[in-house]
């Protein structure tokens, strides 16, 4: 494993190094995307738009726990890749063990809380009288999977730090395939409807986390989940949290903003909420691919940073930006002109379709620049720059998005105007991320030489 890490991260040609890390990461995100679309698609086959709305409403609550996995996953990946670049393999083991046990405990506590408070949580995140029972049912069942969800999301990132992008990909594929296969059986064949979608999601997370744990206890991994290797001192906890908190804050704020826009959209009716949920799924096609690209290059950039190889870092960044821009343009065209059939696949109700189609085309306006945004975010995180990562994370879905959303809602109470808040935010956030990266680059690479 160590030789593989050295060869790919250190010596492989830049295109090969980038693609060998990015392709498995993108495939993993495609599987996450398919799994997300599958839930909505098969629920849509029930011809009950209230069920579609309920799953869309529950998604923000689910994102919070994915954010916890991301906290330890992105934070752990950033620290572990830099430690391996510096040759500190023991500290890398301490870090992976710290992430596992801390995340697991948080997951168990969260599971209990969500199960007990499912009804008030559903009301808070935007469930109406017509969607409340469906939302509560979904949340209660999915709550069982929270510890597994956190572990799966954590190690789908961390395992990439040891140069094992394919193993990270396989875990995601296994979990999501199980979910996709079980969806039509549990939702339609067994007529479990929303409960079936939740049960399939739960089992998918159980199997994904189990796959990663089997790898980590084997001799094929240089990382560890052994409690004996657990250590929070010596800069481990602070190193993980310094990057993990900003990374997870973006997801938490995204969840918060979704809850707010769901509540604002509720004024226009449940069909508008259902249309919004589907439009977000369509937009996710572009977003997930580009997140996959960004997270794929982060351990590679982190290794170069830890090894003080400035030239290779810059070469990898340039290649990644070009690749991200090309993918952004192609996917934007596909999703814009394919909006009608994509929305039709999820919604049968004519009113809900009209909302979904209109919203989808508005969301995709920011598609061309999203690749640059996610590459910049991960480039900053790869350096361990805590403050710039924090500023960027709270800006996109917090400091920028929420004021823009509220301003547009004040200017016009139309449903479409609310949706424009996201593309406007994305363009501003991209410009801001470029500025922050330039500042970070000048500060953190100031004393670096161009070679080892």
What would the mean pLDDT of 178-203 be, rounded to a whole number?
91
Average pLDDT taken over every residue of the chain:
86
Model pTM greater than 0.75?
A: no
Q: What is the pLDDT of residue 281?
A: 84
Q: What are 330's two structure tokens?
A: 């192609």
pLDDT tens digits, residue range 2-14? Answer: 445 556 777 788 8
Where residue 361 falls among pLDDT bands split at 50, 70, 90?
A: very high
What would the mean pLDDT of 340-352 be, rounded to a whole number?
83
The answer to whether the CB of 168 falls within 8 A of the CB of 155 is yes
What would the mean pLDDT of 74-98 be, rounded to a whole number?
87
In angstroms, rounded to a whole number, what is the distance separating the alpha carbons of residues 440 and 445? 8
pLDDT tens digits, residue range 379-423? Answer: 988 887 778 877 877 787 778 888 999 999 988 878 889 999 999
Q: What is the pLDDT of residue 311?
A: 87
% of the chain at pLDDT higher than 90: 36
Q: What is the pLDDT of residue 93?
A: 92
**Per-residue pLDDT at 151 exceeds 80:** yes
What would the mean pLDDT of 332-358 be, rounded to a whole number?
88
Q: What is the pLDDT of residue 165?
A: 78
In angstroms, rounded to a whole number, what is the distance separating the alpha carbons of residues 440 and 385? 7
Q: What is the pLDDT of residue 1?
A: 42
Most confident segment among 92-96, 169-173, 306-310 = 92-96
Contacts of 414 (CB under 8 A, 6+ apart): none
Question: Whose CA is closest to 245, among 59, 70, 444, 426?
Answer: 70
Question: Whose CA is closest to 217, among 21, 209, 76?
Answer: 209
Q: What is the pLDDT of residue 167?
A: 87
Where residue 271 falls among pLDDT bands split at 50, 70, 90?
A: confident
**Per-residue pLDDT at 267 exceeds 60:** yes
**Per-residue pLDDT at 97 exceeds 70:** yes
Exposed/middle/buried for 210, CB within 10 Å: 0-12, 13-18, 19+?
A: middle
Where residue 450 falls among pLDDT bands split at 50, 70, 90?
A: very low
**Per-residue pLDDT at 314 exceeds 60:** yes
Q: What is the pLDDT of residue 407?
A: 92
Which of 31-45, 191-205, 218-232 has the least mean pLDDT?
31-45
Most confident segment among 232-246, 347-361, 382-396, 416-430 = 416-430
Q: What is the pLDDT of residue 119?
A: 93
Where residue 41 falls among pLDDT bands split at 50, 70, 90?
A: confident
What would the mean pLDDT of 107-111 be, rounded to a whole number?
94
Q: What is the pLDDT of residue 4?
A: 52
Classify the phi-psi angles of 235: left when phi > 0, otherwise alpha if psi is within -120 to 50, otherwise beta: left
The answer to whether the CB of 225 falls within 8 A of the CB of 217 is yes
Where residue 451 falls among pLDDT bands split at 50, 70, 90?
A: very low
What would the mean pLDDT of 174-178 be, rounded to a whole number?
90
In angstroms, rounded to a whole number, what is the distance separating the alpha carbons of residues 344 and 52? 13
% of the chain at pLDDT higher than 70: 97
The answer to whether the CB of 179 falls within 8 A of the CB of 32 is no
């Amino acid at each position: 494993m160590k030789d593989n890490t050295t060869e790919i991260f250190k010596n492989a040609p830049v295109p090969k190094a980038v693609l060998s890390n990015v392709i498995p990461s993108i495939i993993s995100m495609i599987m996450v995307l398919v799994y997300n679309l599958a839930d909505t698609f098969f629920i849509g086959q029930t011809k009950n738009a209230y069920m579609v709305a309920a799953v869309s409403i529950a998604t923000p609550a689910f994102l919070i726990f994915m954010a916890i996995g991301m906290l330890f996953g992105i934070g752990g990946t950033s620290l572990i890749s830099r430690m391996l670049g510096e040759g500190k393999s023991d500290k890398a083991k301490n870090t992976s063990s710290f992430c596992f046990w801390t995340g697991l405990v948080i997951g168990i506590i969260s599971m209990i809380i969500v199960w007990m408070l499912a009804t008030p949580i559903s009301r808070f995140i935007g469930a109406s009288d017509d969607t409340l029972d469906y939302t509560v049912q979904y949340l209660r069942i999915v709550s069982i999977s929270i510890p597994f969800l956190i572990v799966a999301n954590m190690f789908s990132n961390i395992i990439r730090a040891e140069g094992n992008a394919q193993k990270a990909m396989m875990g995601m594929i296994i979990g999501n395939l199980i979910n996709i296969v079980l969806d039509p059986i549990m939702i339609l064949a067994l007529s479990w409807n929303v409960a079936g979608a939740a049960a399939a999601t739960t089992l998918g997370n159980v199997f994904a986390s189990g796959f990663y744990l089997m790898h980590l206890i084997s001799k094929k991994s240089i990382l560890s989940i052994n409690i004996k290797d657990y250590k929070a001192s010596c800069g481990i906890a602070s190193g993980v949290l310094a990057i993990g908190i900003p990374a997870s804050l973006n997801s938490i704020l995204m969840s918060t903003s979704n809850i707010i826009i769901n509540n604002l959209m509720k004024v226009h009716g449940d069909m508008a909420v259902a249309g919004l949920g589907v439009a977000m799924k369509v937009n996710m096609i572009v977003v997930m691919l580009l997140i996959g690209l960004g997270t794929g290059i982060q351990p590679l950039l982190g290794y170069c940073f830890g090894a003080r190889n400035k030239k290779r870092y810059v070469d990898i960044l340039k290649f990644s930006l070009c690749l991200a821009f090309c993918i952004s343009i192609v996917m934007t065209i596909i999703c814009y002109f394919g909006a009608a059939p994509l929305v039709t696949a999820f919604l049968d109700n004519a009113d809900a379709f009209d909302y979904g189609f209109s919203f989808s085309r508005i969301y995709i306006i920011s598609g061309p620049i999203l690749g640059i945004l996610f590459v910049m975010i991960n480039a900053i995180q790869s350096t361990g720059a805590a403050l710039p990562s924090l500023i960027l994370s709270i800006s996109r879905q917090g400091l920028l998005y929420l004021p823009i959303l509220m301003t547009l809602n004040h200017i016009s109470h139309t449903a479409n105007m609310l949706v424009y808040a996201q593309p406007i935010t994305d363009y501003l956030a991209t410009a801001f991320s470029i500025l922050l990266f330039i500042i970070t680059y000048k500060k953190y690479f100031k004393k670096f030489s161009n070679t080892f």
